[in-house]
Chains A and B, each alone.
Chain A
Amino acid sequence: MASLAQEPGLVTITIDGTELQVPKGELVVESVKRLGREIPIFCYHPRMKPVGMCRMCLVEVGMKQPDGTVRMMPKPQAGCTLPASDNLVVITDSESVIADRRGVLEFLLINHPLDCPICDRGGECPLQNNTLFYGPSTTRYVEVKRHLPKAFPLSRHVTLDLERCIQCGRCVRFTEEISGDAQLAFLFRGAAMTPRTFELTDLDSKFSGNVIEICPVGALTSSDYRFRARPWDLETRPSTCLECANGCSVWFDHRGGKMVRINGRVNDAVNEEWTCDKGKFGHGYLNAPDRPAKPLIRKEDVLAAADWSTAYQQIVAHFEDGRTAVAGLVGAKVSNEDLFQFKRMFHRHFHSPNLDHRWTRILPSQTEGVRGLHGIDEVHTRIAEWESVNAALVVGNDLASDQPMVYLRLRKAWQRHGAKVVVISERPTYADHFASAVIRCEEGKLFEAVARLSAAVLQNREGADALRAALKPFAPDAKDRAAAEALKGEFFTVCSESVYAKPDGGKTVSALANLAVGTDNAQRFNLYPVGANDMGAALLGVHPGGQGMNTREILEGCIQGRIKSLWLLECDPFALWHDHQQVQDALENVEFLVVQTSAPNQAMQYASVVLPCCAHVEADGTYTNIERRVQKIEAIWRPKGDAKPSWKLFTELMLRMNPSRPIFEPSELMEMIIAEDESFAPAAYHNLEGNGACLPLGVDAGAQLFMEIYQ
């Protein structure tokens, strides 16, 4: 065969007689996939560095000589550590490769307990699959197998079966390379080698769930999922995690109307294939036995089941045209469609602007937020872009808790090309270990720390004299100056809205925006929301706007009697609001309280009417994540009891108050959203297949500084 024309950066290799061009240095395991073939693997993982530990991927390798002959290497090579180079010849299907594979598998199975029938991995196990396709059908090993503890708890979530481990090192490498907590290491050598935490402490990681998924055998299993089902018992449906605002793609496994487990789903734009533990282990509430299934109405002192029409009647009586005496508060896991219809109902039929979705101590009004004071958008950077940043400033709570996927990408940026990261926080964070500078400030001193660092950064730069002058009172120390070295050029800022829960959060955000604007990095400024659909709520205007009351004012209004009727949509103020007493007083005093919820919560005790609503897995809807990616979640199972999707409930109520055209599908609501706000145009339902659609980011009105905070 004639050689293909050589393109720069590409090399020509021959796999099983087929010549093809691949990027120079691509690993042979990957190149083989281009031909639709496969080399069996265990330890290799496409998102981690190859180590060549298991020898499952052995192939015959040779070099094509200038005279056209091929010189084969005397021994087989590991395909997962072999980079493609010009004239490489790879043979993946010769007699000797087949014999090698059989041998490797026979060795791996010598000490494997073969307890597949009771193993949680059975049915979806790479060791089973490889043995079936490439392994021997029987064993010649008759001696006693290695015996080790069977169910060794590594943490509350992860159980280790030491007998099943094939010592591939994937789990150890994950904690070193990806999550960065380096929690696992190999202990002992030879047959006794086992992955363990140091000193047998708990596997304390925010990403430990992933090691369960990447373990190629059933050695690491989920303690929650342990013995709950076999893979063929499960129904698996794609969905999106709503435990935080990153909106990771997940597989949702359910059985008999019960959520059984969550696995990561590949989505290179958001979560690659990872999940955080919050998401992976945090969906238990869907299985709560006491989820409301019927509307409940308070009769004397007890909540009694009622029918919808009575509930509607009471609600209409208390809310219709309630004007400033009615208010609504919203939680994070509410879809765009539900939010939009809720807002419409409040504006059109209750004539009330008192709506809010925020629960932080500081609730900036529209003129006080980043957009109001600084004229820049809150968000400029998409999640995937974080892996290519060169310098970043991380401020506030632990990035790994608030924005797990941004954290993983940023760490990747550090690992791949040494991105410089500066962390300012009050407590130790996950990002500390790879940060080039960590500024640890006292509780409540975040603003001062940011201001001092700003002063240090500006000392290295031209321009922004006004800002430099305003920062005079904040003298940087040596640490700040060292940190500022990392932020000499372009840098990205990331902070989460959880910073508004701190007393100086507003000033901190403003100081960060000033620093970004003053150093021409406004295009790289990010203040990400934390709740699943907080972004959607903000974009759809589920906030008080100019005239309405915010969360604090609404709660105070309830206590003072200015608010007569309150509607809680999928939120429990006791869990969300910092002042318990205030919540209790408010809910005790308000005359009429509607609690619309999919899971039982504490506010129900005070409710006049409880409306059951669908959890996100029970109704179609879209959600907007931190990078304004609108993702559609489809109903996976039927609602519990009489529960309804919230948008449907609002529609029915609105029809009762003012007969008009009914709405049958959430897609119609999305059309209405688009008609109202053009920026939602990409999110039309027909665009949302696959990984959803992104709304525009970085819509800046004209960056400006705001100096009053420094006085």
Chain B
Amino acid sequence: MIGEIARDVVRPILTGLKLTAKRLRRSKITVGYPEVKRELPPRTRWRHVLARYENGLEKCIGCSLCAGACPAKCIYVESAENTDEARFSPGERYAVRYEINMLRCIFCGYCQEACPTGAIVLRKDFELADYDRPDFIYTKEMLLEPLPIRQ
């Protein structure tokens, strides 16, 4: 009886504790998120950004190719014509409205792949939680990169 208890209960516990004791010597692999954040791999695909050229013009030309490529159909693009007075992007066309429904996005990156100007890029910001559904519609203003600061 005693022998059985020693074999089936005590021994497994000791084996487990031995493993724990061994691992205690190694360094931690978890980090103290959110105080500490880890550097993500270079090809991480998270929150989209609408990029700008160095001179501040938007790269997006409102071509809707990203919307056409998106398997989740979560991009809406409405475009308009640039004028000399109000120029947003090089060339004739720019996006007046650009919206992504982040609830539907599956972060596949097809939009980035389809974009002829490299305007829509998925970067590393993954902290996308929010409280209200409407807040998940990311507008052009939210997605656009801030204007480069003039030296």
Q: Which residues of A contact B77 (CB under 8 A)?
A: 233
Contact assessment for A150 and B92 in the assembled complex, using a CB-CB cutoff below 8 Å: yes
Pair A227/B116 contact, Cβ less than 8 Å: no
Count of A-B contacts with CB under 8 A?
38
A494 to B117, CA, bound (A): 57
Q: Is A118 engaged at the interface, CB distance under 8 Å to the other chain?
A: yes
B145 beta carbon closer than 8 Å to chain A = no
Q: Which of A223-272 contact B (CB under 8 A)?
A: 226-230, 232-233
Residue of B65, B67, B68, B79 near A227 (CB, 8 A) is: B79
B67 nearest in chain A by CB position: A233
A233 to B81: give the CA distance in the assembly, Å: 18
The answer on a CB contact under 8 Å between A118 and B68 is no
B71-91 interface with A by 8 A CB criterion: 77, 79-81, 91
B-contact bits for A175-214, CB 8 A (1 contact / 0 none): 0000000000000000000000000000000000000000
Task: Encode contact with B along A117-154: 1 for CB under 8 Å, 0 otherwise.
Answer: 11000110000000000000000000000000011000
CA A451 to CA B30, docked complex, whole Å:
102
Q: Is B93 an interface residue (CB 8 A)?
A: yes
Minimum C-beta distance from A432 to chain B (A): 38
A150 contact set on B, CB distance < 8 A: 92
Determine whether the beta carbon of A118 is less than 8 Å from that of B92.
yes
A118 and B93 form a contact (CB under 8 A): yes
B63 interface residue per 8 A CB criterion: yes
B61 within 8 Å of A (CB atoms): yes
Interface size class of A (residues with CB under 8 A): 10 to 19
Query: Separation in Å of the A39 CB from the closest CB of chain B?
Result: 29
B61 to chain A, nearest CB (A): 6
CB within 8 A of A151: which of B67, B68, B92, B117? Answer: B92
CA distance A203 to B117 in the complex (A): 35
- The distance in angstroms between the C-alpha atoms of A229 and B67, with both chains bound, is 11
- A232–B62 Cα distance when bound, in Å, is 14
**A227-B80, A233-B67 known; A117 vs B92 contact (CB < 8 Å):** no
What is the minimal beta-carbon distance from A121 to any residue of chain B, in angstroms? Answer: 13
**B112 adjacent to chain A (CB < 8 Å):** no
CB-CB contacts below 8 Å: B116-147 with A: 116-117
Given the contacts A150-B92, A151-B92, A227-B93, A117 and B81 also touching, CB distance less than 8 Å: no
CB distance from B7 to the nearest CB of A (A): 69
A118 to B82 Cα, complex, angstroms = 12
Pair A230/B68 contact, Cβ less than 8 Å: yes
Closest Cβ–Cβ distance, residue A149 to chain B (whole Å): 12
Q: Per-position contact with A for B2-20: 1 when CB-CB < 8 Å, else 0?
A: 0000000000000000000
User: Chain B residues near A123 (CB, 8 Å)?
Assistant: 68
State in angstroms the CA–CA spacing of A115 and B63 once bound together.
10
Tell me how far the C-beta of A289 lies from the nearest C-beta in chain B, rounded to whole angstroms. Answer: 16
**Contact indicator B63/A230 (Cβ below 8 Å):** yes
Interface residue from A115, A117, A228 paired with B65 (Cβ < 8 Å): A117
- Cα distance A123–B69 in the bound complex, in angstroms: 12
Render A493-507 as a binary contact track against B, CB cut-off 8 A, 1 for contact.
000000000000000
Residues of the A chain whose Cβ atoms lie less than 8 Å from the Cβ of B65: 117, 230
Q: Which of B61, B80, B92, B117 has the most CB of A within 10 A?
A: B92
B residues sitting closer than 8 Å to A (CB atoms) are 61-65, 67-68, 77, 79-81, 91-93, 116-117
Residues of A within 8 A of B (CB): 115, 117-118, 122-123, 150-151, 226-230, 232-233
13 contacts between A and B (CB under 8 A): A117-B65, A117-B116, A117-B117, A118-B61, A118-B91, A118-B93, A122-B63, A151-B92, A227-B80, A228-B79, A230-B63, A230-B65, A230-B67
